[in-house]
Structure 1
Amino acid sequence: MKTLGQIFESFRFAWRALKSNLLRTILSLLGVTVGIFAIIAVLTFVDSLEKNIKDSLNFLGTGVIYVEKWPFLADNSGEYKWWEFWRRPNASYNEFKFLQTNLKHQNGISIFASKGNFTLKRNSNSIGQVRLVGGAQGYNIIFEVNVDQGRYFTPEEVEAGRNVVVIGSEIARVLFPDGQNAIGETIKIKGLKYVVIGVIKKEGQSFMGTPSNDYAAIIPYQAFRKLYQTGTGAWFEVTSRIGIKGHDYDVGLVELENELRGMLRVRRGLRPAEKDNFAMNRPEALANAISGIFDIIGLAGWIIGGFSILVGGFGIANIMFVSVKERTSIIGLQKSLGAKNYFILFQFLFEAIFLSLIGGLAGLMLVYLFTFIPFGDLIVTLTIKNIVLGLGVSSVIGLVSGIVPAAMAARLDPVVAIRAN
């Protein structure tokens, strides 16, 4: 208890010392404030930008493998061999049915195709720039289509290619103004009548302007094939992709990928020595590539802020040396009254850490105010992780800056110290 009491008394001495030299305290913490602000502001902006970009990629789904002719990224050599990829066959409906029947490590599978710049009409109302999607059963699982009103297609409607449609919230708002109920009503797509059976929940615009279901009209895949030819040849204007959702863990996706590769090679009659003539794309590959870029930007933030913090650390160390010099006689008096070395050490060490923490808190407050600045569709958020990081860095800087002056104060001879002017 005596030791705890002395440590608490060290806190009190440190706090009184900071208050008694307020102007010097403020000037000393400016370097730390600027450094913490620079580092945490960059990390906050980078984290927010990364999160917004990854959220914009949600339209690709999560835990999904896509079978198509074009890979998302270049191979390990960094070369994107487009002259080989364009000759590959497109994914076909027969391959989809084969995989749907035989794949074991899947939680959902669908084939789909899409085409943009459509105009949908209902009576005198119309809306353009609509993305028309043809999706088989399971498309709503792959892309997590949240139907707010009505329902999704039944297997019978998909297989028969019936003229039914699930529309986005903006399409419903324009074609059915004043809150009219769209379910059961008829709209026209390419002059053909389609019955609305569902309205998708509003998603809003993403940071990168990636496709949103707000302006999407989804019809059965077989109905889409009545409008456009889809097939395996490279010359088809509209190509299809197969999406397979795996289990929500890495091992499950690896098992699915291995099983999928083996089945597709067998289905396409590839010999063991032949290369795959298909790509198996995972959205996580894009996310990992983005993370690598932002790691470099974050490192640049550390370097920029590190110089400011280094200057701030030297400033705190300088002030602590001055404080030791000013209070040498007081230190001698404390030691002559029985104060232990660790009491003197903690007294100055806590003072340095307090000084650095106050600077860090001021820097974090500036970053918090920075998050209120509008950046268009970019939402900037100061996370708990970055707050803890900022306080941790501040504490370490205070500890490192104050350890030498504090150790010098603790080792002072009480007789010599008490005689100091």
Structure 2
Amino acid sequence: MMKFIRQVLESIRFAWQALRSNLLRTVLSLLGVTVGIFSIIAVFTMVDSLEASIRESLNFTGSNTVFVSKWSWNFSDQEYAWWKYFRRPAPSFAEFRFLEKNLENAEFIAISDGRGGQTIKNGNNSMTAGVRGISYQYNQITDMPIEKGRYFSPMEIESARNVVVVGSDIASNLFPFQEPVGQYIRIKGLRFQVIGVMERVGTGMFDIGGKPDIRCYIPYISFSKLFHTRYSEPNISVKGFDRDEHQQELEGELIGLMRTKRGLKPYQEDNFSINRPEAIQNLVAGIFSTLRGAGLIIALFSLLIGGFGIANIMFVSVKERTNLIGIQKSLGAKTYFILCQFLFEAVFLSLIGGLVGILLVWLLTFYPQETLDIQLTFRNVLIGLGVSSTIGLLSGIIPAWIAARMDPVMAIRSK
């Protein structure tokens, strides 16, 4: 056993010396593998980073949350019946009050609606931002980190006070030289007092309702007075208890109460949708699975070229060292010793190319991006090393087998 290990280690040493002695040829031959591994790992890394960024952007609610909406979020249907959803009535404030009073499986419930492209003013300073009307328990369902000031009180929400919580960009643009909390802004000509400033969130890949940093929140009743609610399409968000696994009881209760409130007969289908954030996440997962497969096919062409390059170099190497192979075999070198010698050389060559490709992808992660955090995962590193090792093994097996099967007498005479 020890003799076998020593011979394998000796094969590795021979392979390494062969690569060092032909440095220029080694560098040129590993370029193909470098490009191929860089392509495949870059595709996987970018797709993984995009998917993670979008999933984080979609994580605007916690777990156990469902939404009562006019539109269905099940976009994976082969035929999305938009014409049917278009004719549905949107959830109303009266329905929200009815659910708030009668739901037994809900921990929190809120209604919200928004308008984008609104001009927000403070004196001579103005900017375009989104305005969102919310009910009191909205911050229990959706993450709203407050940096300065406070959130709404129940009295401010119910009495429709003209108070507002603003995003960080609104605060810095409209109040560049003063503390924003306690100051006033104008929305559609009405004065709203700033009671809170949200923490800076940054730009997400899939910000529902616009970028959070340029969004302001006001009580829902104040919102309904400002904007014509006839054309509104609010959402009712409901957070269930942890004990309700998969929120099946909550969903069943919501369907029953909404059908009762809307007076639907047993034979009539629902004219509302019960949606979960997982529906969008599953759609995103399907899209990125397709992108990952397409990227893999494209990258494999680069790897194929790199593999042929290594195989060609290995055939040349066998030809150059035919005499040395004959000498080694005449001195008692085993077949597996010669085989391992050339096989290790091909694998080393491919692995070095793969490591260089992975290094280039790793350097990409330092490129500053506001919307996309590029992360090279350990899984992708393992994929890169595994693929490059496999390419080296497949490219070197035939040349190594030819070298190992040579007749020692004929090999020595070849010089």
Q: Same fold (TM over 0.5)?
A: yes
Three-state SS of the structure 1 residue aligned to 2:131 is strand
- Structure 1 CA distance for aligned equivalents of residues 202 and 369 of structure 2: 17
Distance (Å, rounded) in 2 between the aligned partners of 1:249 and 1:31: 55
> Across the two proteins, how many residue pairs are aligned to each other?
413
Residue aligning to 1:345 = 339
**Equivalent residue letter for 2:114:** S
CA distance in 2, matches of 1:246, 1:406: 64
96-105 or 20-29, larger mean C-alpha shift: 96-105
Report which stretch shifted further, 28-37 or 331-340: 331-340
Using the TM superposition, give the Cα deviation of residue 135 of structure 1 relative to its aligned residue in structure 2, in angstroms. 0.6
Q: Which residue of 1 aligns with 2:112?
A: 112
Residue identity in the other structure for 2:93: Y
Paired residue type of 1:204: G
Question: Residues of 1 paired with 2:159 and 2:269: CA distance?
Answer: 36
Whole-angstrom distance in 1 between the partners of 2:235 and 2:45: 37
Match of 1:402 in 2: 396
Counterpart position of 1:183: 181
Quote the Cα distance in structure 2 between the aligned partners of 1:285 and 1:75. 8
Listed as ranges, the matches of 1:155-170 within 5 Å are: 155-170=154-169
Task: Name 1:31's counterpart in structure 2.
Answer: 32
Amino acid at match of 1:17: A
Q: Displacement of 1:125 after TM fit?
A: 4.1
| CA contact 1:246–1:252 (8 Å) conserved in 2 | no
Q: How far apart are residue 312 of structure 1 and its match?
A: 2.0
Among 341, 358, 378, the alignment partner of 1:364 is: 358
- Distance in 2, Cα, partners of 1:57 & 1:312: 39
Q: CA deviation at 1:208?
A: 6.2
**Percent identity, aligned pairs only?**
53
Instruction: Say whether the 8 Å CA contact 2:108–2:141 is kept in structure 1.
Output: yes
1:254-269 equivalent positions in 2, closer than 5 A: 256-269=250-263
The alpha carbon displacement at 1:150 in A equals 1.6
1:187-336 mapped onto 2 (5 Å cutoff): 187-207=185-205, 211-228=210-227, 230=229, 236-245=230-239, 252-253=246-247, 256-336=250-330
Taking a change above 3 Å as real, the CA distance of residues 28 and 126 of structure 1, as seen in their structure-2 partners, is: closer
Q: Is the 8 A contact 2:76 2:283 kept in 1?
A: no
Compared CA separation, residues 17 and 213, structure 1 to 2 (3 A): same
Q: Is the 8 A contact 1:74 1:80 kept in 2?
A: no
Query: What SS is found at the alignment partner of 2:345?
Result: helix
- Residue pair 1:61, 1:283 contacting (<8 A) in 2 also: no
Between the aligned partners of 2:64 and 2:334, the Cα distance in structure 1 is 61
The 3 A distance-change label for structure 1 pair 116 and 276 is: same
Distance 2:55 2:23 in 1: 46
Cα-to-partner distance string for 1:263-301 (whole Å, 9 max, x where unaligned): 433443333332110022333333333333333333332
Q: Which residue of 2 aligns with 1:17?
A: 18
- Three-state SS of the structure 2 residue aligned to 1:195 is strand
Distance 1:342 1:106, change over 3 A: farther
Q: 1:103 offset after TM fit, Å?
A: 4.2
Q: 1:318 to 1:147 in 2, by over 3 A?
A: same
Contact kept? 1:103, 1:259, Cα under 8 Å: yes
Distance in 1, matches of 2:14 and 2:243, equals 54
Which whole-Å CA distance do the structure 2 matches of 1:413 and 1:248 have between them?
74
What amino acid sits opposite 2:21 in the alignment? S
CA distance in 2, matches of 1:414, 1:101: 93
Query: Counterpart of 2:382?
Result: 388
What secondary structure, in the 3-state scheme, does the structure 2 residue paired with 1:242 have? strand
3-state secondary structure, aligned to 1:290: helix
Which residue is 1:76 aligned to?
77
Contact conserved, 1:73 with 1:80, CA < 8 A, in 2?
no
1:262, 1:229 → 2: CA distance? 29
* DSSP-derived class of the 2:387 partner: helix
Structure 2 distance, partners of 1:149, 1:373, is 32
**Other-structure match for 1:42:** 43
| Unaligned ranges ≥5, structure 2 | none
Alpha-carbon spacing, 1:142–1:212, altered in 2? closer, same or farther (3 Å): farther
Q: Return the alpha-carbon distance in structure 2 between the equivalents of residues 245 and 4 of structure 1.
A: 63
| DSSP-derived class of the 1:299 partner | helix
Shift of 1:202: 1.5
Residues 20-29 or 408-417, more deviating: 408-417
Alpha-carbon RMSD across the aligned residues, in angstroms, is 3.3
Q: In the TM superposition, what is the alpha-carbon distance from 1:131 to its structure 2 partner?
A: 1.9
Distance 2:34 2:354 in 1: 5
Alpha carbons of structure 1 residues 75 and 177: separation in structure 2 relative to 1, 3 Å: closer
Preserved contact between residue 320 and residue 405 of structure 1 (Cα < 8 Å):
yes
Moved more, 5-14 or 90-99: 90-99
Checking the alignment, whether the CA contact within 8 Å between 1:133 and 1:224 is kept in structure 2 is yes
Q: Secondary structure at the match of 2:231?
A: coil
Shift of 1:77: 3.8
Distance 1:200 1:375 in 2: 22
Q: Distance in 2 between matches of 1:69 and 1:120?
A: 29
Match of 1:65 in 2: 66
User: Could you state the TM-score of these two structures normalised by the residue count of structure 1?
Assistant: 0.84
Q: Which residue of 1 aligns with 2:137?
A: 138
Q: Which one-letter code corresponds to 2:271 in the other structure? A: N
